[in-house]
Amino acid sequence: MKRSAVLLITCPDTKGIVAAVSELLYKHDANILHADQHQDAERSLFFMRVEWDLEGFALSKSDFGERFQTIAKRFGMAWRLESAEQRPKIGLFVSKYDHCLQDLLYRHQGGELPCDIPLIIGNHPDAKRWADFHGIPFHHIPVEPGKKAEAENKQHGLLKEHGVSLVVLARYMQVLSPEFVGWYPGRIINVHHSFLPAFSGAKPYHRAFERGVKLIGATSHYVTDELDEGPIIEQDVVRISHRDGLDNLLEKGRDLEKAVLSRAVRWHIDHRILVYDRKTVVFD
């Protein structure tokens, strides 16, 4: 397992930030593996991601926080320190369409997603066979009319019980309540089957087909109280033509959905995403 630490920084853009961070790491024998930065000129904001090898690094996590706080205060930083050794626990939500779920489970089994998946929750029982195949507990929690709060409380209880830190909606076709979203701010990833902001809401492929579009897409984003309006993490498109019927759009779209969702989950696990306003910075 990779033993490295990741520092993520957001602060007002000014001179000397990179030098101050690098100097602190150098003084304590850090071997920097990756360093990347971005400036938002319109907002005068600076973003930075630094990853270094923990082998030979002279500071513990708590000691680093004490030493770094002086720099953070000087530059007005919002920051967090993550460890690659800590595997996050992810809860997968699914409805009837199971292609995204299958893809995530396959990638997890193959080692592409360094995380633990302690449970899968479905509002339909259809995906249980895939959970059983991969040896992951499946919980069928129907969302009946007028009983959404009751269902979400059950879901939340299971997520807390298993120490889940990230919820992934693998084509979970239910709108989460503001209360549920508030339990996991910035920690719910959804995949929407269109190139947002175009064709938000239900049946986007049907509406795209009716409009005769020449490109269809898929979008992974963090979930907020506003439907399909959360900060976008990843998008992809494929070209179509007048020869493509609705079934062709659905088939091509499924491939896009799997790809953009798996990338978003991997980048979140790797601590490559910084969210600000309604946008994201995704470091390479």
Tell which residue, 181, 273, 184, 208, has the closest CA to residue 234. 273
DSSP-H helix ranges across 162-245: 178-183, 204-211
Residues with active-site annotation: 228
Q: Is the peptide bond before 137 cis (omega within 30 degrees of 0)?
A: no
CA distances from 89 to 106, 118, 164, 233 (A): 16, 7, 5, 20
Please, are residues 143 and 117 in contact by the beta-carbon 8 Å criterion? no
> Can you tell me the distance from the alpha carbon of 188 to that of 230, in angstroms, rounded to the nearest whole number?
10
